[in-house]
Amino acid sequence: MSPGREETDNRMKTILITGGSGMVGKRLSELLIEKGYRVIWLSRERYVKAQIPRYRWDYRKGEIDTEAVEQADVIIHLAGSNLGDGSWTRLKKQKIVESRVQTAKLLLETVKRMDKKPEAFISASAVGFYGQQTGERIFTEEDNPPSSDFLSRTCRKWEAEAFRFREELGIRTVALRTAFVISRESEAFGKMVLPTRFGLGAPLGSGKQHLSWIHIDDLCRLYLKAVGDNSMQGVYNAVAPEFKTNVGFMRMLAKEMKRPFFMPPLPAFLLRVFMGQSADMILYGSRISSQKVRDAGYEFVYPTAKEAIKATLQAMKKGKRN
């Protein structure tokens, strides 16, 4: 990180996180507290005496504990239904969109009614913004999605709602388009590790699709930077600098686990049988640039897949969270 751009007085700042109990939210909360920030969550249940105080909200009913929002110096919006949890039925798609867009809308409406405004609104997004396709093109934050699939449309709505904080209230707003997160807490990464452990690791589909990825600690440190660096505004790709195809990633995983890698690719049609339309998330993928976050002064702790995979496998073995 660039020390000159970081704020130094963190101790009195309160960071409100939505989706704090999720994989990213828990690790991010730990790092924020280590840095001297006070962290509170918006959650399904109110429990203000918890180690991390929790305040209640329900976006479907338009209910929110305004006490939490009033305390917030910065809001980090991570809430959203798990994309990989089940097939994308009509109802599931509706939940995926509403859990991201309606929650941001509820936060905005709440902030509008308050005298005190947060200094920044930092929102999750996804590299799915660029569309589900396979190619050698390197996408930057300046590119518009060339295709209009469900995930791309969802990301556009997600970000549009987030940037209303900037457009309507003049609040510094950042959106991090997040890649596949490598973490011992990741169910998706665990599903890669399990068959590989038994020598059954295999590419998915053609294996030629690019897998954009980031280690959870780098992702959370990017959120930390977005909190403390007032020069950060707009959209940033939260992706590691190294490009990897699906087959390259799976081969690297097998190598780090000291397991053979000889299985034929898992056919796309089979993945679609079990996952439906959501299989496209892993069957397609282009290269995504990390240049903008590096130009902003961020230095990756895990710049290569080998380093990220090795650290995560060690964490799994030792039972650590990251």
Domain membership of residue 31 (yes or no) is yes
Rounded to two decimals, the pTM is 0.93
Percent of the chain with pLDDT over 90: 76
Domain membership of residue 55 (yes or no) is yes
Residue 304: give the domain boundaries. Answer: 10-318
The two tokens of residue 209 are 């699709």
| pLDDT tens digits along 36-78 | 999 999 999 999 999 999 999 999 999 999 999 999 999 999 9
Domain membership of residue 105 (yes or no) is yes
| pLDDT tens digits along 143-197 | 987 667 899 999 999 999 999 999 999 999 999 999 999 999 999 899 899 999 9
Residue 1, SS3? coil
Domain membership of residue 24 (yes or no) is yes
Give the residues across from 238 on adjacent strands.
178
Q: What are the DSSP calls for 246-315, one per residue?
A: HHHHHHHHHHHTT----PPPBPHHHHHHHHGGGGHHHH-EEEE--HHHHHTT---S--SHHHHHHHHHHH
In this prediction, residue 270 carries a pLDDT of 80
Q: What number is the average pLDDT over the span 298-314?
A: 97
Domain membership of residue 3 (yes or no) is no
Domain membership of residue 1 (yes or no) is no
Residue 237, domain CATH: 3.40.50.720
| 54 close to 40: Cβ distance less than 8 angstroms | yes
Domain membership of residue 262 (yes or no) is yes
Residue 68, SS3? helix
- Exposure on the CB side of residue 316, measured as CA atoms within 13 A: 18
Domain membership of residue 27 (yes or no) is yes
| pLDDT tens digits along 214-232 | 999 999 999 999 999 999 9
Greatest mean pLDDT range, 112-116, 130-134, 301-305 = 301-305
Q: Are strands 63-64 and 54-58 parallel, antiparallel or unpaired?
A: antiparallel
Distance CA 313, CA 253 (A): 9
Q: What's the total number of domains in the chain?
A: 1
